[in-house]
Amino acid sequence: MDREQRRAQILAIAAEVFAEKGYHDAKIEDIVARAKVARGTFYLYFEDKRGIFEELVSGFVRQLAETIEPIETVPDSDPTRVMRELRSNLLRLVERFTEEPAMAKVLFSAAVGLDADFDQRLLAFYEEIAELLERSLKQGEEAGLVRPGHRRIRAFCLTGIIKELVYQLILRRAVSEPAELVDAMLDLVTDGLFTDPVREAVRASSAPRATR
């Protein structure tokens, strides 16, 4: 087993251990024992415990980012194509998580609240996603696909939906299939929750409040 393989093996095992036990309950001892290497060997490949954890998280974050394909939304885009591409982006993203359940658990559990420093980095990561979504919403508005609205808040709403669905998909076994998840979610953000009469009523009652 050459150097890169050994490194990758330890990395993969560390992901499992962090996923199972969380950052603090995962001991270097647990990792090396499962990898069947000596304690010292670990430090030949990784700077320290924090180092391997950051590498794990940032590597997974990079993978997630690569999963997303930009969607072109020029003014006269075909709405059907845009929706199709959006759907497949979401599907690939959700599937990325289901393919790496350990890393999903690490990202949503072990990496949260680790310390002030790490929290900042996670926040920055979600900020990037939110900004990508914001830009997409802007393009969508400009292309006449998206109803105008508070883009930043919407961006966070969408982030929240995805995070929670994946969180539930991973942490419990069940919920449902990625495709079902994505379709239900798209249904929600496409048509909203309510029936037309409700919508009418809401619109009528909020009209006097003027345009916000």
Q: What are the residues binding DNA (CB under 7 A)?
A: 1, 3, 6, 26-29, 36-45, 48-50
185 neighbors 165 (Cβ within 8 angstroms) = yes
Partner whose binding site includes residue 109, from a copy of itself, DNA, none (CB under 5 to 8 Å by kind)? a copy of itself
If one asks whether residue 23 binds a copy of itself (CB under 8 A), the answer comes out as: yes
Nearer to a copy of itself, 35 or 94 (CB): 94
Site string for a copy of itself, 135-174 (x = CB under 8 A): --x--x---xxxx-xx-xxx-xx-xxxxxxx-xx--xx--
CB of 210 to DNA, least distance (A): 54
Nearer residue to DNA within complex by CB, 27 or 135: 27
How many chain residues interact with a copy of itself (CB under 8 A)? 72
Query: Nearer Cβ to DNA, position 24 or 84?
Result: 24
Backbone phi, then psi, for 155, in 5-degree steps? -60, -45
Are 129 and 93 within 8 A, CB to CB?
Answer: no
Q: Binds 197, which of DNA, a copy of itself, none (CB < 5 to 8 A, cut-off by type)?
A: a copy of itself
**Torsion angle, CA of 106/175/131/149, rounded to 10 degrees?**
-160
If contact means CB under 5 to 8 A according to the sort of partner, which of DNA, a copy of itself, none does residue 147 touch? a copy of itself
Among residues 111, 93, 86, which one has the least CA distance to residue 165?
A: 93
Q: Contact, 19 vs 105, CB < 8 A?
A: yes
What angle in degrees, to the nearest 10, is found between the helix axes of 3-25 and 28-35?
140
Say which entry of a copy of itself, DNA, none residue 80 contacts (CB below 5 to 8 A, set by partner kind).
a copy of itself
Q: Cα 100 from chain centroid?
A: 12
135 makes contact, choosing from DNA, a copy of itself, none, with CB < 5 to 8 Å by partner type, with none
143 vs 87: CA distance, rounded Å? 18
